[in-house]
Amino acid sequence: MEIRKARNILLNIGWQNSLLCTLYQMALLNVGILNQMIYCHFKEIDSCSGTGMGFCKMCFMMEMELFIVRTMGGPPPRAYVDGWYRTKDRPKIDYGF
């Protein structure tokens, strides 16, 4: 399933984007302006591999629960869902230093 379709389903049933698109996040990702626009539209992107199979991790939140989606095939919008899971564990934050 394309991530656009899965994303719309999740947002329509009450899941929300769990991450904010900030200039600091863009600096850490070290991506070009086109990719910045993609990341800003898909605010739930946590990370992308950038090479190989093009895996990305996307995080949605509802109350205190996370819904993690792994995609493959590059960054959205061309990515396809590869797997998912739900958790109440707090995500680890990598500040890059």
Query: Which domain covers residue 60, as residue numbers?
Result: 3-87
Q: Report the distance separating Cα 8 and Cα 81, nearest Å.
A: 13
Residue 7 lies in a domain: yes
pLDDT tens digits, 37-82 = 566 678 788 877 767 788 888 889 888 888 999 999 887 878 899 9
DSSP sequence for the chain: -BHHHHHHHHHHTT-EE-S---HHHHHHHT--HHHHHHHHHSTTEEEE--STT--EEEEEEETTEEEEEEEESSSTTS-EEEEEEEE-SPPP-----
pLDDT tens digits, 80-95 = 999 999 988 765 555 5
The tally of domains found in the chain comes to 1
Residue 48 lies in a domain: yes
Residue 92 lies in a domain: no
Residue 97 lies in a domain: no
Q: What is the pTM of this model?
A: 0.73
Residue 35 lies in a domain: yes
Residue 76 lies in a domain: yes
> Of 5-14, 24-33, 65-74, where does the model show the most confidence?
5-14
Residue 61 lies in a domain: yes
Residue 38 lies in a domain: yes
pLDDT of residue 54: 84
